[in-house]
Amino acid sequence: MGTGPYRTQVPPPPSGPPVWDGPPPVEANPVEPGLLDQIRALPGRMSIRWRLTLTYGGLVFFAGALLLLVMYVLVGQAIVAGWPNKIIVPNGLPLEYYDAYRDQYVQLQAEMIAAARGELLRRSLLALLGVGILALVLGYFVADRALRPVKKMTATARKLSGTSLAHERIDLQGPDDELKELADTFDDMLTRLNSAFDAQRRFVDNASHELRTPLAINRTVLEVALSDPHASEDLKVLGRTLLGTNARNERLIEGLLLLARSERELSVRKPVDVQEVATTAVEQLASFAAEHDVAVEHDLHPAPATGDPVLLERCVSNLVENGIKHNSGTSGKVWVRTGMVDGAPVVQVANTGQHVPAYEVDSIFEPFRRLNADRVDSAKGAGLGLSIVRAIVRAHGGAVTAVPRDGGGLVVTVRLPGPGALAATTLSAR
């Protein structure tokens, strides 16, 4: 059973189809393509497998037709060459009938050649039809075998992520042909990408660690200055301003550290219930929601998964905190749901707020990206919340999507692999 103010499995009130930003598109008058245009567009509609199949089958059929033509000519010539040139005249045939007998002999020769050629043509056409069908079948299997390395490369590319670059390779075995050269080049590219990503993560991690120390020193100095009873009011105002700026910088550094950690391979994998994670996140942010006059409603159902509980809790917390921060006006709402959908644990967080254009949805998951005026206003955060969410979800092998909510706000849905799926995927990848 779920927990929360509403306990239904139907979509919550904020769910809805993405809104259209702007006037509907004008439908152009469709023009019916002609037969010639359809024939010209046909190759672009066929897959490479069928194009190879038709190519193989067409070549075999053409070779068979050429062989049939050659045999048709050779059979006629062979009959003519083997036909006796000497006309044997029956004994006692009068000489006046000799010319008629010779013409009949020549006519019989021509009829025999035509009959042999006709019979050969009929039987050969039937054989050619059978060979053509067999060529298409064999061509399909030959194309499948030829494209098998390409399918392997495609499957590897689909499984790639920032956390699997270290151990995912095609490693194609076989002769040193064009396909193996392509696969080896792809593997080398993955190695270079993995090195570049590791260098980037180490840089962010090291830089963040190096910046934490001076920020901590600044905070201590400012707190000591503010605690001085003899400090002037102007000094205290300046100190509180600097302390707030220092706190925002510290949150930024913590966000960078968490982002760098989230983009690495998971070091902790154990069973965790997303329902418990969401419950903890909602309870921790209850006072924060009250400060912003935002009501958090939840419908939490069991959703077992496998992963890092700390990162998953931060993922849900960031979603809920983002929904609270970006509410507009008073009496805002945030809806939180967890449950199993098609055997996979799902978390959905929706909120009221300003209208989000559909074309801006994908960009808000980028680091330091804010919507509209928030790009220049850092009061609501550093712009790393949703970036951290996406990094954590990808590290767990899941997917996160967002759609504009009817009436304003967002509906963000996180779908994670089922229990044990992450460990199985990691072992098979290695």
Q: Tell me the pLDDT tens digit for each residue of 377-407.
A: 444 555 677 888 888 888 888 888 888 888 7
Its pTM stands at 0.52
pLDDT at 43 over 80: no
Quick one: pLDDT at residue 352?
Answer: 87
| Alpha-carbon gap, residue 268 to 179, rounded angstroms | 38
Nearest Cα to Cα of residue 333 among 353, 355, 318: 353
Provide the pLDDT confidence category of residue 276 given band limits of 50, 70 and 90.
very high
Quick one: pLDDT at residue 385?
Answer: 76
pLDDT at 356 over 60: yes
What residue ranges define each of the domains in the chain, with the CATH number in brackets?
45-159 (no CATH), 270-429 (3.30.565.10)
Nearest Cα to Cα of residue 366 among 397, 338, 388: 388
Q: How many other β-carbons are positioned within 10 Å of the β-carbon of residue 348?
A: 23
Quick one: pLDDT at residue 13?
Answer: 42
Provide the pLDDT confidence category of residue 90 given band limits of 50, 70 and 90.
low
**Count of positions (residues) in the chain:** 430
SS3 154: helix
Tokens 């059929």 -> residue? 61
Tokens 């939490």 -> residue? 300
Q: How many other β-carbons are positioned within 10 Å of the β-carbon of residue 272?
A: 23
Do strands 332-341 and 399-404 pair parallel, antiparallel, or not at all (unpaired)? unpaired
pLDDT at 164 over 70: no
Question: Are the C-beta atoms of 129 and 51 separated by less than 8 Å?
Answer: no
Mean pLDDT of the chain: 75
Q: What's the token pair of residue 322?
A: 């983002």
- Taking the mean position of all CA atoms in its chain, how far away is CA 40? 30
Q: What percent of the chain has pLDDT over 70?
A: 72
Nearest Cα to Cα of residue 352 among 379, 324, 385, 318: 324
pLDDT at 11 over 50: no
Instruction: Report which secondary-structure segment, H or E, holds 339.
Output: strand 332-341
| Alpha-carbon gap, residue 428 to 430, rounded angstroms | 5
Tokens 């392997």 -> residue? 152
Buried/exposed 11-32: b ≥16 CB within 10 Å, e otherwise: ebebbeeeeeeeeeeeeeeeee
Q: What's the token pair of residue 350?
A: 């929706």
Q: What's the token pair of residue 144?
A: 């499948």
| Alpha-carbon gap, residue 185 to 15, rounded angstroms | 45
pLDDT at 426 over 50: no
Which range has the top average pLDDT, 253-262, 274-283, 391-400?
274-283
Mean pLDDT of 40-48: 69
Quick one: pLDDT at residue 278?
Answer: 92
